[in-house]
Amino acid sequence: MDHTQMKPVAVQLLKYLVGILLLALSTISHAEVIDGKVVGVLDGDTIDVLDAALVKHRIRLAGVDAPEKRQAYGERSKQSLSDMVFGEQVQVEAHKRDRYGRRVGKVLVNGQDANLQQISLGMAWFYRQYESELSPDDRRKYAGGELSARQNGLGLWADKNPVPPWGFRRQ
């Protein structure tokens, strides 16, 4: 291939890379930001947020799966999340709706990631089934938070064989 033939290939490659970059940026910008007050905590990974227009939004914490209410640590997980966010102003970075119509996203309270806190306190699992929906940074933090909680026997990790919620739901 001579020098004149290489130029069109380089241009095509550049166009392709720019297209991929634009696609990646468009998926990032689809996050919906909800600012509001937490008016309800349903369990260790679901809250209700009331926005300034008095619209209530049901939020599922992204990357988190907490024990079910009837499961060991279910009530403690709910109480942990409630202590952290109930009555507080939060910002939710929602990126999708789940099959139940809930928005799924990261909940920030006083600048802190409540999703990460639930995992790091041993009050929830890092929900790896949906990790591809998280940023690489959040995947790393959530995995590290769970590992640290496991190693330190925090929360549900104090049990010898904690049952993950997805296993409990199947039973």
Pairing of strands 56-61, 46-51: antiparallel
- pLDDT score of 66 more than 70: yes
**pLDDT score of 31:** 84
Least confidently predicted of 8-12, 87-91, 117-121:
8-12
**pLDDT score of 99:** 93
- pLDDT score of 104 more than 70: yes
Q: Which residues have a catalytic role annotated?
A: 60, 68, 102
Q: Both tokens of residue 86?
A: 């109930």
Instruction: Provide the 10 A C-beta neighbour count for residue 152.
Output: 12
- Note the pLDDT tens digit of each residue in 75-89: 999 999 999 999 999
> What amino acid occupies position 27?
T
Nearest CA among 85, 83, 89 for reference residue 34: 89
Domain extent at residue 120: 32-170
Q: How far is CA 158 from CA 21, 67, 120, 142, 171, in A?
A: 44, 14, 13, 19, 22
- Residue 23 placed within a domain: no
**pLDDT score of 15:** 64
How confident is the model over 30-54, as a mean pLDDT? Answer: 96
The CATH number given to whatever domain includes residue 121 is: 2.40.50.90
- pLDDT score of 27 more than 50: no
Q: Give how many domains the chain has, as a whole number.
A: 1
**pLDDT score of 12:** 66
Q: What is the mean pLDDT of the chain?
A: 89
